[in-house]
Amino acid sequence: MLKTVHISLLGKNEIAREGLRKILSSENFIIKNSLSDAAIMSQLASKAPDNADAHVVVIDYSSIEESLEACRLLTARPCDARLVLLAEKYEFENVALAFQIGVDAVIIKEISCEPLIESISLVALGEKVFPSQLADDLGSCVPSSETGDWRGSASDAGLSAREIDILESIMGGMANKVIARKFDICEATVKVHVKAILRKLGVENRTQAATWAVKHSVSAPMQSAGAATLPMLAEIRPSPSYGQAA
């Protein structure tokens, strides 16, 4: 059983962070950091805390795009911290994308305090936690003959083979420097490719581009949502609910 869990809070709203601090402060949870800047948090998260069994970063931005970008920053450099993303609502493709980037849990904010604490405790123990709605959607997902393979859809949208490779890297949460090293090209060239990808897909940022690719992978119930490479269900757990949907 874990003795001490260090918690770092990341989000733009200071009042929201203070609310989380009060909820999560306990004999087993020690709040070490409360920041609005994801870049600074990524530096702190790369350093393992002293005298702690685990370090969990709770990400709580007002928009899912900001939260996913913060997750990308945090996973761009090696660290032992586990990531918990709080989301306003359940959206299949965003949950799939979050796990693709490398988060350890996605928790919908309508969850009550006790199951929130239990969910974070599970993450600290090395478990993956996901919204209960995800299990239902994954059970109903079938390959879509209309959307087909996302690479084919990307090609139809005018993306070159190199741009498709870079889009796949973006889906995996890679920064431009990492992509440049992967393909042995300069970072400026990667930036040119990324701009071309955004223009051809008609999206505004990297998160929207990755979500576009996820949506063109697999059709979910009632919509063309997509599943990125998710952990096996045997390795992840639905958020505890205690009578309230997580």
Domain assignments of the chain as residue spans, ordered by start: 5-139+229-238, 150-215
Residue 1, pLDDT score:
54
Asked if residue 89 has pLDDT above 70, the reply is: yes
Q: Is the pLDDT of residue 47 over 80?
A: no
Q: Indicate if the pLDDT at residue 236 is higher than 50.
A: no
Q: Quick one: fold of 5-139+229-238?
A: Rossmann fold (3.40.50)
**30 and 52 Cβ atoms separated by less than 8 Å:** yes
Contact 60, 20 (CB under 8 A): yes
Question: Which of 37-51, 91-105, 133-147 bottoms out in mean pLDDT, i.e. has the lowest?
Answer: 133-147
- With CA atoms as reference, report the closest residue to 43 among 88, 79, 16, 19: 79
pLDDT of residue 229: 39
Structure tokens at 209: 């581009």
The yes/no answer on whether domain 150-215 falls in CATH 1.10.260.40 is no
Separation of CA 195 from chain center = 22
Give the pLDDT band of residue 142 (cuts 50, 70, 90): very low
Residue 107 CB neighbours (<10 A) = 23
Instruction: Please check the confidence at residue 165 and state whether its pLDDT lies above 80.
Output: yes
Could you tell me the two tokens for 87?
A: 């989301």
Q: Alpha-carbon distance 42 to 186, whole Å?
A: 24
What is the distance between the alpha carbons of residues 62 and 11, in angstroms, rounded to a whole number? 8
Task: Give residue 157's pLDDT.
Answer: 87
Distance between the two ends of the chain, CA-based, in angstroms? 24
